Amino acid sequence: MSMKRAIIFSGGQLHPDFLQQIQEDDLIIGADRGALFLIEHGVHPHVAVGDFDSLTDREHDLANIKANSDQLIVYDSVEKDWSDTEAAFEIAMERHIRDVLILGALGTRFDHTLANVQLLVRAVQHQVNCSIMDMNNYISLTSTQAVIENRGFPYISLLPVTAEVTGITLNGFQYPLEQATLRMGQSRGISNHLINEEGTVSIEGGLLLIIQSRD
């Protein structure tokens, strides 16, 4: 089966509604506790990966994951260099998949949340379309141009990931910009809104984080 997209269920905050994001041809990857979440909701992951140190009953749960996954990859929690989500992302890269959606990558651990958001930089470097989504946010990153669709998240915020982002032009937004520059530490790009079902964000230099959110 040819898989056009990878969907990664990470070990952060997960919700059963996320299962609606799964499409027929997706490569389904469960990272750490995300694999158990999938199996407990009747979904058979193609790959389960991680150190699985977050499992409540590790021996029992890991046996369950092994029995209900096509492939199980277990890393040593001390020796590994990657987070579980990054390991899942690398599996998608090894399979030359060009679209990745990461779920459960945001949560109470800000260090993990920030590291997972920074995976979007890796995706841009690999020329991969990658987004992170939870119940309140849809996060993407652009180095050129992005089409922003109305996904039910009313607020759209733009934050530079590099020291500055230049040549920012917005079309289809309540507050348009033309050849603007945003620098780290500025909040000028916070809480914009679409005026139609989609808009475009174009930049000339830097990396721009696009956060669609709701309260």
Give the pLDDT confidence of 109-168 residue by residue, as tens digits. Answer: 899 899 999 999 999 999 999 999 999 999 999 999 999 999 999 999 999 999 999 999
SS3 of residue 184 by DSSP: coil
Give the pLDDT confidence of 18-40 residue by residue, as tens digits. Answer: 999 999 999 999 999 999 999 99
pLDDT band of residue 59 (cuts 50, 70, 90) is confident
pLDDT of the residue at 2: 54
pLDDT of the residue at 78: 63
Higher local confidence (pLDDT), 15 or 59: 15
- Could you tell me which residues come within 8 angstroms of residue 115 by beta carbon, excluding any fewer than 6 positions away? 83, 85, 86
Q: How much is the pTM?
A: 0.92
- Could you tell me which residues come within 8 angstroms of residue 148 by beta carbon, excluding any fewer than 6 positions away? 156, 172, 194, 198, 199, 200, 201, 210, 212
The three-point CA angle 159-111-134 to 5° equals 65
- Could you tell me which residues come within 8 angstroms of residue 185 by beta carbon, excluding any fewer than 6 positions away? none
The three-point CA angle 64-72-119 to 5° equals 115
For the segment 186-197, the average pLDDT, to the nearest whole number, is: 94
